[in-house]
Structure formats: C-alpha cells, structure tokens
Amino acid sequence: MTGLLWKDEHVGGFGMAMGGRGRVLRPTTEEQIADAFAEVRRTGGSIALRGTGNSYGDAAVSTNGHVLDLSRMNRIHSFDPETGVASVEPGVTVRDLWRCSIAHGFWPKVVSGTMAVSMGGAAAMNIHGKNNFAVGSFGECVKSFDFMLPSGDVVHCTRESDPQLFHAAISGFGMLGCFTRLEIQTKRVHSGRLRVWGIVAKDLEHNLQILEDMRGQADYLVSWLDLHAKGKDLGRGLMHRADQLAAGEDPDGLRFFDPSLQDVPPNLFGVVPKGWLWPGMWCAVHMKQVGLVNWLKFRAGAGEERNSPYLQTHGAFHFLLDYVPRWHWMTKPGGLIQFQPFVPFQHGARVLRQIVERCHGAGHVPYLGVLKRHRPDPFLMTHGLDGYSLAMDFAVSSRRSKRDALWRLCHELADLVLDAGGRFYYAKDAVLLASSFARVHGDAAVATFRSLKERFDPGNLLQTDLSRRLGVVAG
Amino acid sequence: MASRSGTCIVVGASSGIGLAIARRLAIGGRKVALVARREKELRAAAALINDSLGRPAASAWVHDVADLDGAEPLFARIEQELGPVDELHYVAGVMPDVAVDEFDLGKDRTQVQVNMLGCIAWCNAAARRFLARKSGCIVGVSSVAQDRGRLGRPVYNASKAGMDTYLEALRNRLWRHGVRVTTIRPGFVETPMTAGLPLKGAISADKAAGLVLRARDGEKAIAYVPGKWRFVMFVIRNIPSFVFRRLSI
C-alpha cells in the first residue's frame, strides 16, 4: 500500500449552504480507492464518496470525515462508434461523455441540467433529465458496472447477474460501494440539433395540462415557472418541448456533430464573458428584484412562442445551468438550497398549488422553479414516480433565524408531499429528517436497503452528512 | 469558381478537420469517398453522414496512408465505383508526443510517411488524372507549424514543411493547366489530434472546414485558417534565428 495523501479541506454542497471540513483524497486508480477503504476501515473512520460535487445539499459531504473525491478518475476507456456503448471511469462527466459520443452521432440517453455531473454521481443518485417521463432515469441506460464494496472487493454487476445489487447500488447514494467503471448506453441521434418549441403556460393547471397533452409525443418537456406570480397567474411559466429529428430531416444538422458546436457559448453577444454575469444576478437577488426578472422572462416567452419551432443544439437545450458560470454565487454568502418534491399525478395540481401558496404566505418565494413530468423506475431508493416534480431554488439567508424559518417551511412542505405519497431526490435534498426516510420509500424498501447496507458495509464505512441526517443506519 | 459535381476524396476523414470537410461536402450534395485507417470509426462516420442526410452520400475506404503504393490503385477503384473524381482533400496527419530530449526514428518515420509521403502519393494520383482532364482541385492541409523549425516537434515541422513545399511545386506545375492546388495552414483547431493541448482561442473543426472550402472556392494558393494566423506567423517567421532558439515556443 502506498502512503495516501489526505488533505484537510472545506467540502461543500453545490448550493454552498451545507458543508464542513473533511479529509479529502483524490484517487486516480482503483487500487488507491481500495487502499483508502482499507486505511479508513482500520482507523474506524468513515468515508463519503464524491463525484464532481454537484449535489446541492450534503449528499457528498462528510463533516470531520474522509471524502473520496473521484473527479480525477475521468478516463473514457472506450466508446464503440457503432453501438454507442461507452466504458467510463466514475469521474467522467456528462460533458466528457457527450463530447466523445456526439462526434459519432450518439447522445447520452439521460443528462442533467448541468454537464458537470459525474457518471459515478449520476448513477449513485440515479439522476433524471427532461425526458424522464419517456425514458426513465440514468440507471436505465447503465448496462453494467464494476463496484468496489467497502471490503475492497470489486464485483462486476449487470441487471441479470445480480439484480438486487444492480438496482440498489444505482440510486443508493454511495452507501453500498464505489462505482469504479460503468458501461453506459447512449442513443443514436440523426441531427446535432433538436426541434424546440417555447409554449407560454398561463398558470399551474395550464402547465400540467401541456405536460399531459404532449408527453405522448414529445421527447423532452420542461417548464420554467415564475413562482413570484400569484392569484390567477400562480404557476405561470414557459414550457419547452424538444423533439429529436428524423434521418434526412435536418441535413445541415450534420455539421453539429462537431463537439465544439454543441458547447454552451462562453460569451454573451459574442463579447461579454458569461463568467462576469453572476454579480449582476447577485444584485437582483439581494436587492429583491427577482420578481421583476421573472416577470421580464415570462413576458419574453411570448416572443419565443411566436418564433417556435426553432432548431437548437442538444447542448444548448439541455445544459441551461451552464449558461452562466458560477451562477450560484449570486446567492452568497448564505448559498442556496433546492427543494424538489415529487408528487403523484393524482395529487399534482392540488399539492403543487399548496406548496407555492405556502411559500408566498411564509415570505420565502423561490427565485427559480422548474416543473417536470416523471415516471416510476425499478431502482430501490428512487425518487421516480408517476407524477410531477417542482424544483424550487431558495436563497438561504446568512442570518440564523431566517435560515431556520426556511428549514421549518421546507419541513412543512415535505409533510404535505409525503402525506400525498410523494418522494424526494437526494442529489437536491438539504432538509429531510430521519423521520421522513421510511415515508419517502416505504418500509419495505428501507428494510431491504438497510439489510444490504448491513451485508455489504457492516462497519458503516460509507457515510455522508445526508446519510446521518436521514438515519440510514438505524440506531 | 469552377462548378463541381464529381466525386470528392477526403483522405484522413475519420475525425477532425477531414471529417468536418467530408460532412460539408456531403451537405453540399457531393459524393464523398472517406479514406482513413481506422475502419470502425470510418464506417461509422460514413454511416452517420448517410443517415443524417437520408441519402447515400458517403462511402468508406479503409486505407493506411503510410502504404504509399496503395494510393494509386485505391484512387482508381474509387473512380471505378463512384465516377470521376474532381476534388482531393489530403487532411491525414499525425503529431505524436515527443519529449524535448527524444530522438525516436520510429516516430519520425511515421510522421514523414503520413504527413508528407502520403500526401505526395495521393496528390500524384490526383494530379495525373486532373492534368489529363485539365480540371480539378487539390487541397492539402499543412500547418502553421511548417513555418519554423521549433524545439518541440522537429519532424512534425519538417514533414509539414516538406508537404507545403511539394504542394507549392504542384500548384506551379498544374495551375497553367486549369488544375487548382490550395495549401491550408491551420492554426489552433479543436480536433482529436490536438486534444489535451492548451490551445487558447482554438476554432472548431467545422469552422475550419468552412474556411478550407471557402479558400478552395476562392482558388487561394495558400490560406491560413483562421486568417489571423497569417499575421501571427509573419511575426514568428521574422524572429531572428539567434532570438528564436532562445524561445520556448
């Protein structure tokens, strides 16, 4: 075993509202992961697995613990240009994958709103995209993986070879072991562009109706919501629908298989570096002008609707969170949390309306809201269900009393969601309590997960602030 | 600009600028023969072009340009199957990592074979036919690296300089017979060959391909891609040798 260089660092969530000091190691080989497991197991400590650190809350954080940052294990072992199957290390990002695949006419089946997410993190959190209602979650495009158990043993796992481990490791938020290699199926695309429509939705019910009307035909659906609107306008927004193009439909789209043409442009109007924009956004957040910004964006939606449909590259459509680098700094110094409830279809309109109304009532109006349609998936600790999710970004105050009030509001909202049979998504969560864990997944799923945890990780080596908050290991 | 309707050959078409040129030619309605060494990538690239356009525009021809004797017969086979060729793009190139204290004849030989001799083999095959037909165009993708001998990649510089000089001579031979020869000197372009290099301000392969075809249409003798490199290389070419040898560029 070689000496491992753990570095004492601040390790935070993407939202900057959660985090703490941790001892961080950035392995570059599978052997180094095994060595790290062995060393920490010997000393009786715990390890949190971390990809590129894009979970908003504390899912990849372990205050005063060890953190294995896998972002340097970022090699693409192979990509088959005929089948579109990639074999990758866990630190390979969505960007790395699509830059490799698009050159051969393939696009990842499921991508997040930012391309910075790692493959290991995507599998552990079982992320979803704007097509969740149609193709399911990230786990459904994983063909196989190599998985290092806390004992240091590596198992190769497919759906067929060990269905229980396959469906628990994916969605298992890093509690059962570490992905060291993943085999991922991408999908054939016939153009480097998508056909996109902007559709103005006048209120929440209209938004939900559009989702229902279009989900049988569209490839991607996502709606931005102006959550500052009240009364009859509550839940208004701008829906984006995108469809893949058929062979021969967009001859010029052939050019856009060049990866460089898929990247989000780095400059505004070709001149202003977008990395300079966050201070302006900071002013909007801290000078209470978010309502005005939302109103302007909603008004601009009418123009987009008139100009629809239009052609847009896959990258430009999917990665809205990458348009403004460091955008989350606009919420400094308190940071942000994202509250993303998943609500069953039959309760969608009622519960989502109540959530937005309670936010208004409490004076905590999210600066951003994103509505999506979902479907169930076969993974053990999944957030997927037949219904809707509403991702709401809250700026967190650095004042303790205001922060506590926001957390209280989120607990109230979580109760509303759980009472309706809803779920939550651990890549985003910052607020759930241990008492909610079984309510999210059901007693049977939690019991199965805990028995797997006991079997594969009896010493509870793998822990995060999230797992401790949720009481994953009872007692 | 002469009208073009015949078959195009793109040598080095499995990725990078070559693939981008092939795509643009196919979008423009041309029949394109894609020539490259890596069979799987090449066939996938041709299939993608045909799939995306919804018509058979591209065909794959597996060939290692280091096989110099294979160029002439393959050229003939392509003409036999696809009809007369009136346009050749030679884009194949290799640029292996070479340490500043490394003198590896194996790497050097490969670079000379692929970057220079392969170009000569394919251009000879084209020139013979185009001269007889008194029409056609040859585009050779050289490099700004050919302008000076630099400490980092001596044989890459030398092989590209050899290719560049050959293309100039070919141009002088063929111009008077209605055959156009254009030398392209790309600067920083994002391609698999340059992946991992710190290339600030690099342009996309597709943009480079657009500029290459514009230079072809303008019947340019030499085109820097993008154009700003003409000025940059003018400055670099005129740095006195006793200064240049002290620089790390």
Nearest CA in chain A to B38: A81
Find how far residue A420's CA is from the centre of its chain.
23
Does residue B200 belong to any structural domain of this protein?
Answer: yes
Q: Does A249 touch chain B (CB under 8 A)?
A: yes
Does residue B212 belong to any structural domain of this protein?
Answer: yes
Peptide bond into A344 cis (omega under 30): no
Does residue B151 belong to any structural domain of this protein?
Answer: yes
Tokens 């009393």 appear where?
A401
CB contact set of A432 (below 8 Å; sequence gap of 6+): A414, A424, A440, A469, A470
Q: Is B90 designated active site?
A: no
Does residue B142 belong to any structural domain of this protein?
Answer: yes
> For residue B231, what are the domain limits?
7-244
Choosing among A254, A256, A262, A311, which should be mutated to test the B contact, i.e. which has the most B CBs within 10 A?
A: A254
Neighbours of A201 (CB within 10 A): 24
Rounded distance, CA A467 to CA B13, Å?
51
Tokens 């594969």 appear where?
A456
- Total count of domains within chain B: 1
Choosing among B52, B55, B207, B211, which should be mutated to test the A contact, i.e. which has the most A CBs within 10 A?
A: B52
Rounded distance, CA A84 to CA A88, Å?
13
In this prediction, residue A2 carries a pLDDT of 55
- Residues of chain B neighbouring A258 (CB-CB closer than 8 A): 20, 204-206
How big is chain B by its Cα radius of gyration, in Å? 18
Nearest CA to CA, how far is B128 from chain A (Å)?
32
For residue A213, the one-letter residue type is D
Tell me the domains of chain A and their CATH numbers: 7-70+451-470 (3.30.43), 76-188 (3.30.465.10), 193-250+257-432 (3.40.462)
* Residues in chain B whose Cβ is within 8 Å of chain A: 15, 19-20, 23-24, 26-27, 40-41, 43-45, 48-49, 51-55, 190, 203-207
Per-run averaged pLDDT (10 residues), chain A, 475 residues:
84 96 97 97 95 97 97 97 97 97 96 97 98 98 98 98 98 98 98 97 97 97 97 96 96 95 80 82 88 93 95 95 90 95 97 97 96 98 97 95 96 98 97 95 97 97 97 79
Instruction: Tell me which residue of B51, B20, B57 sits closest to A248, measured CA to CA.
Output: B51
CB contact set of A200 (below 8 Å; sequence gap of 6+): A236, A238, A239, A298, A301, A302, A305
Does residue B120 belong to any structural domain of this protein?
Answer: yes
Cβ pairs bridging A and B (under 8 Å): 66
Choosing among A83, A188, A258, which should be mutated to test the B contact, i.e. which has the most B CBs within 10 A?
A: A258
Does residue B92 belong to any structural domain of this protein?
Answer: yes
- Residues of chain B neighbouring A103 (CB-CB closer than 8 A): 15, 19
Nearest CA to CA, how far is A258 from chain B (Å)?
6
Instruction: Express each pLDDT in A326-363 by its tens digit.
Output: 899 999 999 999 999 999 999 999 999 999 999 999 99
In this prediction, residue B192 carries a pLDDT of 83
Instruction: Express each pLDDT in A118-175 by its tens digit.
Output: 999 999 999 999 999 999 999 999 999 999 999 999 999 999 999 999 999 999 999 9
For residue A296, the one-letter residue type is L
Does residue B1 belong to any structural domain of this protein?
Answer: no
Nearest CA in chain A to B24: A255
Tokens 């000091």 appear where?
A21
Does residue B238 belong to any structural domain of this protein?
Answer: yes
For residue A337, the one-letter residue type is I
- Residues of chain A neighbouring B207 (CB-CB closer than 8 A): 260
Residue B89 contacts residue B10 (beta carbons within 8 Å): yes
Whole-prediction pTM: 0.92
Residue B134, domain CATH: 3.40.50.720
